[in-house]
Structure 1
Amino acid sequence: MMTNHICFIGGGNMAGSLISGLISNQYPTNKITVTDPDQQKLDQLKRQFSINTEIDNLKAVEASDVIVLAVKPQVLKVVCDNIKTATLKTKPLLISIAAGIRSTDIDRWLGGNNALVRCMPNTPALIQAGATGLFANTSTSDNQKNIADQILSSAGITLWVDNEAQLDAVTAVSGSGPAYFFLFLEAMQAAGKQLGLDESTAAKLAKQTALGAARMALEGDDDPTTLREKVTSKGGTTAAALASFENNNFNDIINQALTAARDRAIELADELGKD
């Protein structure tokens, strides 16, 4: 495990999740600093994790080897302008978990030639069950990629892409993906209630079924197609439900939804990257 000094700029939920994961993996707390304009938030993080806290971004960056940009996309340019003098001097590894802003724009805001890894995590990272896509620019060394991987994998699995444009697809599949499953759970619960179950029973059955199916897909050797076929008896109840899905163009609906998410990710990157 690397022991670089890591500075998280922004003390929100995702930063807290990564910090929690790092500490669970025995990362030294004295090597972690968080900055945030909200002193109450900093005090809470210090009590919870016994880490260093700092209001001054510039001061924290000057003392750190790795900077995790964990702020809202709308304020990232302001943050980059604020820390630019320090990053130009110390040349730390920069890791951005700010959604929708391309690495080329972040690098430009910071003066250029920075080692930069852009990440697309998702909300299950809050319970260390996340899925994160990562892209490294050409200024990033293999060792720096390994450092970024160790930090992000503390909150779940990590997968690297070779082309930054693929992060838009990652956004569509896993970044926005939890909401799709929540929507499906909502629909299953509502249908179960419509079919005569009480609300609590329908909710418990739907959630446990989702958990069980996900575990079978993750932990077994069979792919989703084989798993579906194994549970589908010809002429049975599952076959009837799946035929209904197919008749209502289920696959087309999913493809259209993910394409819309991907296209919106591209639009947002264009908008947020403007100076």
Structure 2
Amino acid sequence: MQLITTIAAMRAARAEQTLLGLVPTMGYLHAGHLSLVRRAKAECGCVAVSIFVNPTQFRPNEDFSRYPRDLERDLALLAAEGVELVFAPSADEIYPADFGTYVILPAADEVLEGAARPNHFRGVATVVCKLFNIIQPTHAYFGQKDAQQTVVIRQMVRDLNLPVEITIAPTVREADGLALSSRNSYLSPSERAIAPQIYQALMAAQARYQAGERTAATLKHTVAALLQQEPAFHMEYISAADPLTLRELKLIGPQGALLSLAVRLGSVRLIDNLLLTEV
């Protein structure tokens, strides 16, 4: 396994490969990341994993400085998976002092995570575009947990005609249903004990959908009513949106819906979602 920290070295290593699957990460890897690595390995043979805590997608009051990092641990996990290339650049390598070009998808900042975190998706789209240009993967792998991110990346790839095939894999969860996230490490034991109620509330709404309920407000109320029973939860938003456009729905049609939410639990901000589809 090669650990690469510069753009020039990454491009030189890439030149030796034909098919290459990329798994972009911010490190502090968990089983969700590793499931993407295994899929990339199975489909492409050669895998590159980027480890970069991207400063441009954090707001000034967010957790960039304390975001969990453990490169040595991450490298050991990736070596065990047979990863060939790990790209772990510095911030200065990605964003030199005179950097001034960003990828902006205006609609992404109007809804859900974009509305809650202004300029977040400008940072996401810019760094992913740069990674695609630097590493030039044939395939790239992302998880469904960051649902709006997947919509943004697919649109960017389509709009800019980037020659990379995007694969979105299902959310990986703990045995009790909590979606895996590096930020779960922030949870106290008592917070961790109640965090699975988020998924349980989403599942309750899914059950109503499967029973025939198609009114978006009713499904969102189902989620909210259950989470409001736990005082530690502070809702930021609950959404039932078109899975492709992320526009809020009143009535869910054949296209289904992305049921998503953001919840604060203590100092930790957790997101999760389910895709509601007709069976």
**Same fold per superposition (TM over 0.5):** no
Larger relative strand fraction: 2
Mark the structure with the bigger radius of gyration. Answer: 1
The TM-score by the shorter chain falls in which range?
0.3 to 0.5
Larger relative helix fraction: 1
